[in-house]
Every structure is written in C-alpha cells, then in structure tokens.
Structure 1
Amino acid sequence: MPRNIRKLRPAVAVAAVALAAAAVATPGATSASAQPGADRSGKHLVDVQLLSFNDFHGNLEAPSGSSGRLVTGHHIDPATGKPVDDTVNVGGVEYLASHLDKARKGHDRSLTVAAGDLIGASPLLSAAFHDEPSIEALNKLGLDVTAVGNHEFDEGYKELQRIADGGCIDDGDGKDNQNSCAAHDYEGADFDILASNVIEDASGETILPSYAIKEVDGAKIGFIGMTLEATPDIVTAEGVKGLTFKDEVETANALVPVLKKKGVKAIVTLIHEGANLPKEKWTDPATGKVYDVNASYDYTCSGGGELVAGSPILPIAQNLHPEIDMVVTGHTHNPYVCDVPDPEGKSRMITSASSFGRLYTETNLKYNLKSRDIVRSSVKGSNMLVTRDVTRAPDQTELINTYKELVEPIASRVLGSITADVKRDQSPAGESALGDLIADAQLADQSTVHNGQTPVIAFMNPGGIRADLTAANSPYGEPVGDVTYDEAFTVQPFNNYLVSLTMTGQDIYDLLTQQVTGANAATHKILQVSEGFSYEISPSGPVEGSVKLDGQPIDKAASYRVVTNNFLQGGGDAFEAFTKGTDPYYGGLDVDAFANYLETSSPYTPAALDRITGTH
C-alpha cells in the first residue's frame, strides 16, 4: 500500500454531453486562419509560447542506437548506389532540459505541456524505481501539465494515482527489480496529470482531473487531457481493470462549455493518440531520380509531407469542438506539425514531437487579452531537435548519478548462467545463437497471451541485438558464466514492448521475402525465429514449401498467432508484412521476457543453428 500520500486529488465528474461533428478535412499548412472577433488593431494582443513533447518513456540518459537518432536528410551511398538516411544523435533529459531553458528565454508567457506516455516502457534507470526518477526529472525541467497515455496504466490506475500524488510503495528492497523511494520519499508530480476520458467504474468519476487552467501574466489557457479510447486493447487487462475509457471527441467537446463557464475561451487538447507518416519523396540532386525514403523529422507537414489518410488521430482532430484552438498529440512516436481544419473549416494546428525526448515542439501564438482567446491565425509551430551539443543541465545530471548508484544492486543481480558465449554472429543462412535465445524468450513470455490465443512463432530483428552474452564478462565480479540483469539489458536496451498479432501464412511468406528484397535487398536483414519454426532461405526469399511449424508446412490460407516487438510490428526495418497483422495485443517489455527466460533456463547452452537453412 502507498504511504506518505501528500496531495488530495479533486474528484472530477464526467460530463456526458456529445457534440455532433460537422466537417471532414485533410491536413495541410502549419498555421491557422483568422477567427471571428480577433482584435485586428493588436492593442490587446500578447505573445504566448507553448513548448510540448510526448512519449518520453523514462529516457533519462541519452537513448542509444536508433532510439537516439532522427533523420535529418538523405544521400546516395556510393557503395550501393542506394539512398541512405542522414541522422543526428538526439535526446536525453539533461539535454532536453537545457534546450527548453534556452527556448524560454525572452518569453514572459511560456508553458510546457505533454501528451502522455511519459513513463512506462522505460529504461532500467527509471523502471527500477517505479519511474519515480522520471517524474522527478520532469518536475525539474518545468513541465506544467500532461495527458495520460496508455503506458501510464502499465502498473494499474492506483499506481498512476500514486505517481501523481506522491507516497511510497512498501515493495521491499529491489523486489521484482523495482524499489520505491530508494533515494528519498517520493513527493509526486509538480505538474497536472489529466485523464478526462478515464472513468473509475465504482465511483463514476475520472481517476484524475479532466482539465487544468493555467494563467501566465493575464493569459488564461485551459488544457483538456486524455488518452486514446482504445487503451484497453493495448494494455494488460489488469492494468485497466475497473475502468471505462470514453470516446475522445465526446469527452473533449463536453468540457468546452465547462471551461467557458469558468471564463476560459483559449483551449488546447492534449491527447495520447497520433498519426502515421508517409514515405518522403527525395530527389537525388546529382541525377534527379526520385526515391521513397524515410521521412525527415521536419518533412510532415512543413516539408511537403501529409499525414497518412486513415491515421487514428484524424477523425478525432477533425471533429473536436471548433472552440478548441490546438491539439497536441502522441502515441505513434512520429514527428509532425500540421493543419487539420476543425468542424467549421477553420485551420487548427496538430503537433507531435517524436519520442524519447528527441524533439520538442515550439509553438508561438497571440493571445487576445480582451476576448480572452487565442488568435488562430497567429498559431505557428516547429519541431526542434534536442541535440547533444549543449551544456547538460546539472540538476538532471545529479539526479541521474544518484539513481545510477542506486540501481547497481538491481543491475548486478545474477539471472542465471551460460555454459559458453552466446553470440550475434550469423550462420550463412542468417541465424544466430543469441537470436535463437531471444526469440525463444519472447515465445515463452505469457504477457502477450490474449483471449486464450498463445503465440506459436516469435520474430526478432537482428539490429535490436546490441551485444553478445560473453561468459567471461563479469562487470560486478560475478563468477564466469553468470549473467547479470545489466548484461541482459545491454543485449536489449531499447525497452521495446512485445506485441502479439495474427498473421496469415501468406503474410509470413511475404515477411520472410522482405528480408532480402525491397529496402532490404542491398543489406539483408534476417529475422531471428523461435524453436519449432524453420525454413530455407534463398536470394529471393523463402523456398516454396520449406516454411514449417513443428515440422508441418505453413498453410498460406491459415492464421497464426505470432509475437514480435513493437518496432517490427509497426513495419520497422521495412517489414511491412507485420502491418497486415490483426488483433494486436501489447504485453511486457522485451528485456523482461529475456531476463525471465534466462532465470528459468539456466545453465543455458547454445543449440545448433538449424532453424534457418540455405543461403542468401
């Protein structure tokens, strides 16, 4: 049970008023058109700055690998003649705090807001302490208000309420790789956490406040915060037990008159739902040839890209009340600053700042002190890179160092042992011993079992395997062969979460073909697979009839439940076949599955590499 609760949450009753939507619109420009009643003289206009981000996921230290980079441009690789991405290393709360401090200079009226998933699916440094370090870091960088996301429910809504209010968990010392109040009593969030569409069934009230009103030197702005209605579909049942998630549009629109009665006309919605991005059309300046490439961080919409039609956020943004002036989004981890007109056809800006603290959005606008509203035509925003060429915020560095010292007992815990090195080195067919181990661990994990459907095949991307398991490696002085939690985390440091989904046999054939064709034709990416699944690879894909499960050929017309990580499930590494999967269900973190499997399978001896045969 929590102890030392320091704050009282006001119960916020749920309005049940729905407003009919009127217009359908498409994304376009990044500023908004003039609204009636704007003060054309400018006499009563003042400048307001909004800084926003989303999907921080507890990334205190600068993320590594692809999680710590963003695409900034493209060039032709002379070795292959193919376009490749130009990237920049970004992210880390020490740098994010410094960039935000710099951005605020010269702005008397500035607010910092977020759109959910600030915690959950976090690196060990935060996750080991129930994400208390991340909340403390966000307090230090000056966050004012955020919406909840789906990952805020990973440990249940009572734990989310504790995160907001403060207090400690009597969880022992390092039980389940977690330890509350390890450095000091946890005092909770200094910022508002909003959950306007999340209802506790027992009370009929929202679990956290529905809205917050912030006033900066005469400018009063209301913020409505919510998560996606489909949160129960992507969170474990235990995490959302006893809750109802309401329609986003109906919830937000019902709160507009509530805010207006309080004298608030300037309204911003913070919502944990997002959009998908198109491929960028990039022209090689030397040849004039046009290629489809990964979109640069500023391509959508200012660089010419548009949000993909059918993106989940679009029908929401198009139907939110016309008096809502701006929409800050998240969830899809994509960067965009776009215009999605409101039901009256007036331009309204919608933003998202990627994930992991790699970007923040700076929005500048005019506020009319006389009409008490935002001048829609003045709203302009840009996504800004959180580069690592600035001085790190010293208070954030101190916080990180404190928890790095405290995490050592968890990081040094021995999970099990290996009898020989388990390496990433691939056979001629593309199989690796470590890939086999990780795929088997994912298949054995019970967190992705959904509605009685247990996955029968696991797929792991080779690029997500970042280090070998070396028997002689002893970072904490443990005996040769012992594997610590830190070593396991180093192998899989991205905190991807596992996702189960249903694919047809034809989807699986297409998936295996995509390993050596299309965007992967130049550099083959051979997925690692679980025990019981086998096939023969060729330079053009799997050999017809060779794809088998437990010795029986895969039926292309049949359906199979598979498990992978969320990176691949979203089509990462050009494996678009995963995006055809249906009924996705999000489970726990991949590193937890890996650690649990090591604990139950020791001593582990690498097996023969016979799941994938052939050459490519």
Structure 2
Amino acid sequence: MSSRRHLRLAQALAVTSAAALAVTMSPSTALAGGHGKPPKPPKPTTAQIQLLSFNDFHGNLEAPAGSSGVITTGYTETQNATTGAFQATATNVPAGGVEYLATHLKQARAGHKDSLTVAAGDLIGASPLLSAAFHDEPTVEAMNSLGLDVTSVGNHEFDEGYKELQRIAKGGCIDDGPGGANNQNSCAAHTFTGAKYPILAANVRYTGTLKRILPPYWIKTFKDGAKVAFIGMTLKDTPSIVTKSGIAGLTFDDEATTANLLVPELKKKGVKAIVVLVHQGGTPAVTTYTAEHGTYNVAPPYDATCSTETKNGVKGAQLTGDSAILDISRRLDPQIDMVISGHTHQPYICSQADPDGNQRLITSASSFGRLYTETELTYDLKKNDIVRSSVEGSNMIVTRDVAKDAAQTALISTYNTLVAPIKSKVIGQVAGGVTLPKTGADVETSLGRLIADAQKNDASTVSNGVAPQIAFMNPGGIRADLVPLANGDVNFGAAFTVQPFNNYVVSMDLTGAQIYALLEQQWSGANAPAVKILQVSEGFTYSYSASAPAGSKVVPGSVALDGTPIAMGTTYRVAANSFLSDGGDNFASFAGGTNKLIGGLDIDAFANYLTAHSPYAPIETDRITQVP
C-alpha cells in the first residue's frame, strides 16, 4: 500500500473517530468528565394508589327506582300550600344502575397506574328478580365485567346457604329442572364460570376447626413492588339475621379479633399495608338544616357525615356513638391502615384514632350502586407501608348522565329476555291501582297486613288439618312498596320486589307465654337500639306503651285472638317465614316453637292470596294500638 493511501486511511479513521466521539458525548457526559453513560434517575421512593370501593349492591343491575334510586345532595326550604308551614325538602338526584356504575369506574381509573376496585359485601342476595331468578349469577357476571378485584362476604351472600356461596365463588350450575324450580334457573344463558375476583370470609370457619369456608385475605403486588393486603369479613352477628339451615356447622368470629390475628401472618409475607373490607357499618346521626324561616332536623346528605363544615345550611354530622363499626375500628391493630365498611346502607367518610392515636379512614358508599368511594393514598416503597396521613377519600355519585357501559347493557338485555315470562305473569289486582307502602306513619302498614294475612292463610302450612291462627312478618323482610301497573294488575316481578328472599312459610306451636315474650323482644335485647315491630295477621290484636320500660311494653291482657285474650298456658298455631322461625332478627321465642312444619315459599303464599282476593282492597284496621 502506498504512503499516500496510508495517509488517506489515517485521515479517514481520524474523522470517523471524531464524529463518533461527538455523537456519543452528550452534554451530561461532558459534565461528568466524559466517563460512561449518564447517571440513572433515582428510583421513586413512593407510589400513588387509587382504591375505588362500594358495598351493598344487592343485585341492582337495572337503575333502581323510587327512594332506592336517588341520592340526597342537600335541602331547600319549602312552604306547605295548605297550612303555610315551612319545611325542609330534600334535594335528590337520580343515581345507580350497573351500566352507569361501570362507566363511572372506568372514568375514575383513567390516569391512575395503580388502581383497585374493591367491595364490602352484600353484592348479591335480596336482589331484584332480574338477578335473583338466576341465583344472582347475572350480578357476579356484571362484577366480573366492571373489573371488581376483591370483595368481602356479607350476610346476604348466605341467603341460599354457604355451599351456594362457594359455588358462586368457583362456578358451576345448579340442576333446577326443566324451566327452573321455584322461579329460579341456574345457567339459563350459559355455563356459569364463577367470580373472577376473590370473595373473602376471614371470620367464617367450620365449627370446631380453623378451616375457613373461603380465603381470609388477598394480596395485590403492583409492578413497582408495592404490596397491599385486603382482609374480608362479614359481621359476627350474621347468624341472627340469616336462615340458620344455610349456615349450620359454621362459626362466625369477632371481626376485630379475626383481623388482628391475621396481621402477624401478613407481616411474615412482607406485607405491612393492610385494608379491612368488613360488612358492618355505622349510622349517621340526625343533623340540622338552617334556612330563612327556621332550623330543621334532617338526615345528612351523602357527603355530610363526619364533615366539620356547614354547607348550604346543612351542618356536618357524625356517626352515632353506638355504631358497630366504631367499636370494631377502635380495636383493630394499628398496622391496619383503612376500613371499608357496609351493611347499614349509609354514606360516610370518617376517621377514627387507632390504638396508637393515628387517624384511620372509615368509608361506606350507601347501597345499590348509587355511590362509589374514591380513595387516594401514598405508599412508601422503602418502608413497604401506606403513609397514613396521605389517605383521603370522597364519596362520588353514580349519576345517570354518562354513557351506558355497552357490556353491561348487553348482559341486562340477555337476562331480561330470559326473565320476561316469569316477571310479567299477573297474579292479582289491587283495587284502584294504589301503591301499598312498606312503611308509614303508623307501626302497621297495609302491605304488612297483606303479607301476614297471606301467610296465615297459606294452605301449605296446614298440619294434620290444623291451620295457623296467627301470623307474624318481620318488617325488614318487606323490601319495597308493592307497585301495581296502571290498570291495577300486580305481576310476579312486582311481588318479588317486595319479598325477594325465597323464604319458606313455617307453621309451629307457640304458647301464650311465648307469644307475649316474642312481642316484648320487639323492643328489648339486640332490638332495643332499632325497634322491629312485627306485622300481624287479621284477628290478632294487642296494645303497647312506648314509654314503659323494656320487658313491660305490652299491656297485660291486651293480647287477643278474635277478641279473646291470649292465655299464657294455651298453645296456638303460628305462621312465620323460615328466617323468623329460626329466631332471626333476635326473636328467640320463634326458635322455641314446636311441631314445626315447613310449607311452601313465602312469595307463593303472597301470590296465591292476592289471586284469591283480587281486586285486593288495602286494609286499614288497627291491629296494634299504642297507649300512653
């Protein structure tokens, strides 16, 4: 090679090396002295996590109607046109429906890298016919679709027994026979594959063992290394509010004790950030609304409970001191960072000091999918824990001014087609087409009387030719007003909305002394904080004094059957639903009944009676009388 070619090659290599050096040396490299790559940015020390939560959905796939389908946002002062008196009138906005809930949740997740959607029980059970007719499989499929990550179990998840709850969790079909039995049909649309989210039951175990019926907790590990555990529980008092046959062989443990025992186990797994999903709740205290012409006692709007502000004349409220969730929360281990609650169907965002004196958030999002709670929190990636002071929550209204979620609309359409023949069947008429309310100013209601009369006259409970003489109906089992069609017709769908539990009607023997005792149980024991006045059948009457001490409310000698005083030592044939028959709602006297005969479904008794007495004229007799 000539010297000229050597020179050209050397020059070319020099130019190439210079160019390469100019490309690879960034300003930062030059500042660093030209040694190696730019320094890596420091790893983040914290992560932002979003929790979206709700509770007590109760299978409300379609937008709920009436008072169940609105949220109170405030009050206005109005004047009665007849009396001239001023009053506080609630300002309500329509809310709820899974088509809207799914859309709101999607919108809320936007822009959040780490987001979870969680629930605190009673997603199924006491559901409208659209879900209940298919063993609540449609609701589970709706929850799968909207992206639910985890839920606790609630008391209504046991409405069809714990084995059915386990099927709901894992999938499979029930053989309901051709066309479905008891107006229910499993896997009517397709094979049910179960919940895609964990259903947690930390405090429910097989009696005599430590084995739980479902997982106690679920741990979510995010991509950035953050770990959050969710402990799920139902209320320990579940046995007193569900049918006992469905939970036979189970033990329900104290909520706080259960959660606290799991904390060390979670710590061993490297998890310090813990959220409790518990199906127990609180009750907001009455507050005041001040306007131009006066101050009025009102129920707090959806965003007022535990607020210290006065907004638009409404003073912030607090949870009542006897709220069960407060006792649970104050006993929870300080390592637990947040409590998401339910059961009482109330909206609140509250905080309470844990045993170490640090504030801990407690939330509840009303019911029926009308609200969801959005909680933002900071996770310390070095300490592997939630920064407690960062936890902030807000209840958000599920308004109906957003686009419907297409997948939810399709699901509802499928099951509406399948349920139509059951729902539309006319079972009777109400004279004048008037609505029969479930509640009223009096302790009795026309709807309560109708249901009690239907159960008293249910042919399926006649035992050896002896028919029930008296029937009792628990007010909590009457879930909605009876709303006939415009022409007065009542279809099965309307009746099922009133009584959605598929309880059986049970007849039994009770002595007069037991009847007196169960009447006193309306005001005493566990019912003292929230009185439960049983609805009674025609011919049964009594008087009570609200001012008398507990245990002596019933006026002696006033309890009568067809005008004849009930004798303490005489045996009477009594009918009640299977829930009450087991001593439900803290009426222990029913559990002591003898010679029990399990009849047909309560909804069938209702339908048969209405058919036989159509057009039904609402009864306004005074079966229960209050005296000073």
TM-score interval, normalised by the smaller of the two chains: 0.7 to 0.9
Aligned-pair CA distance for 1:603: 2.4
User: Is contact 1:139–1:190 with CA below 8 Å preserved after alignment?
Assistant: yes
Q: How does 1:11-160 map to 2 (within 5 A)?
A: 44-79=45-80, 80-160=85-165
Within the candidate set 410, 432, 454, 1:441 is matched to 454
User: Is contact 1:300–1:337 with CA below 8 Å preserved after alignment?
Assistant: yes
User: Is contact 1:224–1:252 with CA below 8 Å preserved after alignment?
Assistant: yes
Specify whether residues 505 and 59 from structure 1 end up closer, same or farther in structure 2 by C-alpha distance, changes over 3 A only. Answer: closer
Q: Which amino acid aligns with 2:54?
A: F
Uncovered stretches (5+) of structure 2, i.e. residues with no partner: 1-41, 309-315, 462-467, 506-514, 525-532, 544-554, 580-584, 592-599
Q: Which amino acid aligns with 1:50?
A: L
Q: What SS is found at the alignment partner of 2:232? A: strand
User: Is contact 1:67–1:494 with CA below 8 Å preserved after alignment?
Assistant: no
Within the candidate set 329, 333, 341, 2:345 is matched to 333
Determine the structure 1 residue equivalent to 2:306.
301
Provide the rounded CA distance (Å) in 1 between the counterparts of 2:97 and 2:589. Answer: 30
The CA deviation string for residues 92-127 of structure 1, in whole angstroms up to 9 with x for no partner, is 111111111111111111001111111111100000
Determine the structure 2 residue equivalent to 1:11.
none
Provide the rounded CA distance (Å) in 2 between the counterparts of 1:472 and 1:279. Answer: 38
Determine the structure 1 residue equivalent to 2:546.
none
The CA deviation string for residues 500-542 of structure 1, in whole angstroms up to 9 with x for no partner, is 994449969xxxxxxxxxxxxxxxxx99863124589xxxxxx
Provide the rounded CA distance (Å) in 2 between the counterparts of 1:167 and 1:463. Answer: 29
Determine the structure 1 residue equivalent to 2:422.
410
Specify whether residues 425 and 356 from structure 1 end up closer, same or farther in structure 2 by C-alpha distance, changes over 3 A only. Answer: closer
Determine the structure 1 residue equivalent to 2:547.
none
Aligned-pair CA distance for 1:364: 0.2
Q: How does 1:313-324 map to 2 (within 5 A)?
A: 313-324=325-336
Size of the aligned set, in residue pairs, is 513
Q: How does 1:209-224 map to 2 (within 5 A)?
A: 209-218=215-224, 219-224=226-231
1:465 aligns with 2:471: no
Determine the structure 2 residue equivalent to 1:379.
391
Determine the structure 2 residue equivalent to 1:286.
292
User: Is contact 2:61–2:139 with CA below 8 Å preserved after alignment?
Assistant: yes
Q: What SS is found at the alignment partner of 1:270? A: strand
Determine the structure 1 residue equivalent to 2:267.
260
Q: Which amino acid aligns with 1:217?
A: K
Aligned-pair CA distance for 1:488: 2.6
Q: Which amino acid aligns with 1:241?
A: A
What do you get for the CA RMSD once the two structures are aligned? Answer: 4.3
Q: What SS is found at the alignment partner of 2:359? A: coil
User: Is contact 1:95–1:393 with CA below 8 Å preserved after alignment?
Assistant: yes
Specify whether residues 268 and 506 from structure 1 end up closer, same or farther in structure 2 by C-alpha distance, changes over 3 A only. Answer: closer
1:357 aligns with 2:362: no
1:531 aligns with 2:538: yes
Q: What SS is found at the alignment partner of 1:77? A: strand
Within the candidate set 605, 611, 615, 2:621 is matched to 611
Provide the rounded CA distance (Å) in 1 between the counterparts of 2:149 and 2:589. Answer: 33
Provide the rounded CA distance (Å) in 1 between the counterparts of 2:64 and 2:589. Answer: 26
The CA deviation string for residues 144-178 of structure 1, in whole angstroms up to 9 with x for no partner, is 01110111111111111110101111111221111
Within the candidate set 221, 232, 240, 1:225 is matched to 232
Provide the rounded CA distance (Å) in 2 between the counterparts of 1:85 and 1:306. Answer: 19
User: Is contact 1:73–1:86 with CA below 8 Å preserved after alignment?
Assistant: yes
Q: Which amino acid aligns with 1:244?
A: T
Q: Which amino acid aligns with 1:45?
A: T
Among all aligned residue pairs of Structure 1 and Structure 2, give the percentage whose two residues are the same amino acid.
Answer: 52
Relative contact order, higher structure (CA 8 A, sep 6+): 1
Determine the structure 1 residue equivalent to 2:29.
none
Q: Which amino acid aligns with 1:227?
A: T
Q: How does 1:186-201 map to 2 (within 5 A)?
A: 186-201=192-207
Aligned-pair CA distance for 1:465: 3.1
The CA deviation string for residues 224-280 of structure 1, in whole angstroms up to 9 with x for no partner, is 111111111111111111111112122111111111111111111111111111001
User: Is contact 1:195–1:209 with CA below 8 Å preserved after alignment?
Assistant: yes
Specify whether residues 298 and 454 from structure 1 end up closer, same or farther in structure 2 by C-alpha distance, changes over 3 A only. Answer: farther
Aligned-pair CA distance for 1:201: 3.1
User: Is contact 2:429–2:484 with CA below 8 Å preserved after alignment?
Assistant: no
Aligned-pair CA distance for 1:593: 3.0
User: Is contact 1:235–1:585 with CA below 8 Å preserved after alignment?
Assistant: no
Provide the rounded CA distance (Å) in 2 between the counterparts of 1:380 and 1:359. Answer: 16
Uncovered stretches (5+) of structure 1, i.e. residues with no partner: 1-40, 448-452, 474-482, 509-525, 537-543, 567-578
Determine the structure 2 residue equivalent to 1:30.
none
Q: Which amino acid aligns with 2:245?
A: E
Q: Which amino acid aligns with 1:341?
A: A
